[in-house]
Amino acid sequence: METVDDPLQALAGYLAGEEEILLAYLFGSRATGTAGPRSDYDIALLVRDPSLDLQARLAHEIGAVLGVEQVDVVFLNRAPVELAYAVVAQGCLLYERSLAERVEFEAKVLSLYGDYLPILRRQREEILRGEGDEAGIQRYREALGQTERTLAALRAAAEKAAG
C-alpha cells in the first residue's frame, strides 16, 4: 500500500496532531484514481474511542483542511468487514500512529474477511436465487436475517479486537 503525498500532505499533518486517530486511509474514487471533479473525499479512520461527536468533528475539520465541504468519514472500528477489507486492500494509507498498530489491525481485518467470506458469498447467492415469488421472498428474509446476525457478530469481533 502506498503512502499518499502532495495533495493530502496537510491532512497527514493534521491527522498526526489528533491523539484519537490511530490509522487513516483515503479510499473510494480518489484513492483509485477514478475521481471526477465533483467526487468527495472518503476517509476511513481507526480511532481510540469512536463516537458520533468525534466523527462529526473530524469530518468538519478534515473538510476544512482539504478546503472542501463534503467529506465522508468512516470509523473502521464500526465498519462492516467488507468495507474494512476494501479500505485495507484498495485504499491509500494517509497516516499511522505506529506500524505495529497498523499491522495488527490489517491482519485482523484480513483474517475476519477470510473467515466470513464464504458465509457472505452464500448469503448473496441465496438472495439472488429468489425470483420475487413467495419462496424467493422468504429466502430473502431468511438470508437478510442471517446477514444481520453475521454483521452483528463481525462488529462484536471487531470491537473486541480493537478494544
Domain region containing 139: 106-162
Asked if residues 79 and 154 have their Cβ atoms less than 8 Å apart, the reply is no
In a domain, 41, yes or no: yes
Alpha-carbon distance 100 to 8, whole Å? Answer: 23
Burial of 148 per CB tally in 10 Å (0-12, 13-18, 19+): exposed
For residue 40, tell me if it sits in a domain: yes
Task: Please tell me the pTM assigned to this model.
Answer: 0.72
What share of residues in the chain are helix, strand, coil (percent, to 5)?
60, 15, 25
pLDDT string in tens for the chain (163-residue length): 444 446 588 899 999 999 999 999 999 998 888 888 888 899 999 999 999 999 999 999 999 999 888 899 999 999 998 899 999 999 999 999 999 999 999 999 999 888 888 887 787 777 677 555 666 677 667 777 777 777 777 777 766 766 6
Please identify, among 98, 129, 152, the residue that sits at the C-terminal boundary of a domain: 98
- Distance between CA atoms of 45 and 72, rounded to whole angstroms? 11
